[in-house]
């Protein structure tokens, strides 16, 4: 398939990875339908897509509402004529120790990160089955393999999402032209931190070496050309996965120790629910504005070092028990 002929739906398209992916497909001349809660963000991305040479329409939709997603999918197919690729990219997070975060916020993270993707799949898979072809791209993150202290609900949602994808892939195994593709990036320099809830009292910031959203977007576009079950984005992604497999609990223990120290030393800020329940006002764009430029090799070394230190701290902690 020439990508200039591709018809793409992106959920969670109003900022960050979703927005970058929309622009990347638009550069290929794709026809797009974009969905998200925030009209301002969607309008901004539609303009970016048209400037990039693609055709884009936007529909405001609450992905937590299964009926609304089904209606959205039907409208998207009417606009596009068919759906070749659907990118499920809605996500949210809460940072804070589990007992310090209201349970309703944990529930909202599960609903946003897991149930919205299930709603997407339930809406688009009948279309794919009718067409006997289609690509469902599922944004998960390396958090689907590595537990994240201070983000217990996020971890639960991403582990669940990985299992959901694997189950769907098995069910569709006899449909060779229908693909379920998972994407596992490491930290990405998107507006996600500002959209997330924060109960640590500490200012959030990305570590050095955070990926550009465009890097993840390129990986999604590549799946349109060559679908594959699992795509890790960022050199450390596979390393994180391997480290956690080789030494379960050690990496998480080390990460927890690091986060405890960070929480004590970081700049103090008020607790916030971010955009958990309402879309941000205005357009958020693609990047966070926090990304620190440094040489690629240094970035890689920093992240690899963090993994090693995490495992080391975890081992030391367990030895003291």
What the chain holds in terms of domains, given with CATH numbers, is 3-319 (3.40.50.720)
Which of 65-79, 225-239, 261-275: highest mean pLDDT?
65-79
Give the pLDDT confidence of 305-315 residue by residue, as tens digits. Answer: 444 444 444 44
Q: Which of 98, 150, 154, 206 is catalytic?
A: 154
Q: Residue 58: which region, alpha, beta or left (left: phi > 0; alpha: psi -120 to 50)?
A: beta
What does the mean pLDDT of the chain come to?
Answer: 89
Task: Say what the pLDDT of residue 146 is.
Answer: 87
Task: Say what the pLDDT of residue 292 is.
Answer: 54
Task: Say what the pLDDT of residue 1 is.
Answer: 58
Distance CA 172, CA 54 (A): 31
DSSP letter assigned to residue 114: I
Percent above pLDDT 90 for the chain: 74
Report the DSSP beta bridge partners of residue 35: 11, 59
Task: Say what the pLDDT of residue 67 is.
Answer: 98
Task: Number of helices (H) and strands (E) in the chain: give both, helices first.
Answer: 11, 9
Residue 249 scores a pLDDT above 50: yes
Task: Say what the pLDDT of residue 321 is.
Answer: 42
In this structure, are residues 22 and 218 in contact, taking their beta carbons and an 8 Å threshold?
A: no
Report the DSSP beta bridge partners of residue 202: 268
State yes or no: is 206 an active-site residue: no
In this structure, are residues 190 and 288 in contact, taking their beta carbons and an 8 Å threshold?
A: yes
- Cα dihedral sign, 129-165-118-1: negative
């Amino acid at each position: 398939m020439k990508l200039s002929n591709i018809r793409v739906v992106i959920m969670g398209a109003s900022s960050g990875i979703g927005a970058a992916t929309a622009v990347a497909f638009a550069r290929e001349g794709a026809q797009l339908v974009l969905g998200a809660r925030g009209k301002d963000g969607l309008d901004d991305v539609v303009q970016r897509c048209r400037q990039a040479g693609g055709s884009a329409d936007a529909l405001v939709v609450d992905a937590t509402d299964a009926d609304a997603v089904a209606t959205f999918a039907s409208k998207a197919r009417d606009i596009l004529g068919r759906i070749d690729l659907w990118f499920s990219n809605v996500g949210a997070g809460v940072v804070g120790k589990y007992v310090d975060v209201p349970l309703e916020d944990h529930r909202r993270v599960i609903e946003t990160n897991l149930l919205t993707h299930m709603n997407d799949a339930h809406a688009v898979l009948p279309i794919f089955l009718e067409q006997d072809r289609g690509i469902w791209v599922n944004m998960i993150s390396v958090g689907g393999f590595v537990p994240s202290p201070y983000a217990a609900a996020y971890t639960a949602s991403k582990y669940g999402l990985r299992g959901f994808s694997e189950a769907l892939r098995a069910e569709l195994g006899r449909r060779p032209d229908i693909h379920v593709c998972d994407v596992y990036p490491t930290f990405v320099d998107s507006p996600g931190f500002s959209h997330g809830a924060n109960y640590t009292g500490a200012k959030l910031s990305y570590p050095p070496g955070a990926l550009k959203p465009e890097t993840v977007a390129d990986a999604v576009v590549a799946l349109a050309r060559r679908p594959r079950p699992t795509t890790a984005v960022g050199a450390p992604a596979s390393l994180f996965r391997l480290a956690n497999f080789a030494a379960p609990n050690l990496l998480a223990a080390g990460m927890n120790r690091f986060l405890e120290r960070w929480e004590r030393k970081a700049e103090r800020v008020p607790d916030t629910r971010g955009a958990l329940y309402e879309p941000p006002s205005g357009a958020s764009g693609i990047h966070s504005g926090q990304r620190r430029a440094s040489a690629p090799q240094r970035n890689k070394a920093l992240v690899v070092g963090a993994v090693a230190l995490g495992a080391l701290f975890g081992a030391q902690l367990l030895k003291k028990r």
